[in-house]
A and B are shown apart, each in its own frame.
Chain A
Amino acid sequence: MPGKTVVDARGSFCPGPLMELIAALKSCQVGDELEVLSTDRGSANDIPEWVRKVGHEHLATHVEAGVWHITVRKAK
């Protein structure tokens, strides 16, 4: 069963949240979901862009109390 990993990158500036996501992706299985928590507005735009570019799946983004929650699925 696919797992879900939370990548807590709150407080980190660009490109910290993206790099933390990529490091976490390395240790996940195809089909797993990862939820990045970020307080960096730029990363909320950049991460979905990177995910599309490299062929993973961007599932959702929402903001809650100043924290962006960006959910992606490892697709390959």
Chain B
Amino acid sequence: MTSSKVCVVMVSGSRERLQMAAMVASVAAVSGREVLVFLSMNALPYFVKGMSTDAAAEGKLGSLMEHKNAPDFKTLFEQAVSLGEAKLYPCSMAMDVLAVGPDDLEPYLGEPTGLTRFLDAARDGQVWTF
């Protein structure tokens, strides 16, 4: 089994990108890979408690997915944590912009993290950006 670390930088709020990022993170995590996810920009609001997860589609696939029984991206991210021990870090800058604190975020997220710490953690891993 490979030990290569998978680092996901999630900045988009589009349904396709959120879904693909969640698929990569969850499958990598349950396959024994170390997975770090950095949630920033338009992706972070979906992880504020009580916020809608109805992400807008970019194109045809995103629209089609709405009517298919694909697991939703938040469930996949949560499973990445619960079944695969992935770590999801909310971007501290995006939290400041949204004016939210750690208690406002989903409980399976890790501690607020800045780019300096995330880049250091991601230094020896693959980086996937969505």
Residues of chain A touching chain B, judged by Cβ–Cβ distance below 8 Å, are 11-16, 18-19, 22-23, 26, 50, 53-54
Contacts and interface: CB of A to CB of B under 8 A. Distances in A.
Contact of B70 (A16, A23, A26, A50): A16
Interface string B45-77: 000000000000000000001001111000010
Given A22-B83, A54-B32, A15 B71 contact: yes
Contact of A14 (B1, B23, B31): B23
Contacts of A50: 27, 30-31
A18 B68 contact: no
B26 interface: yes
B79 interface: yes
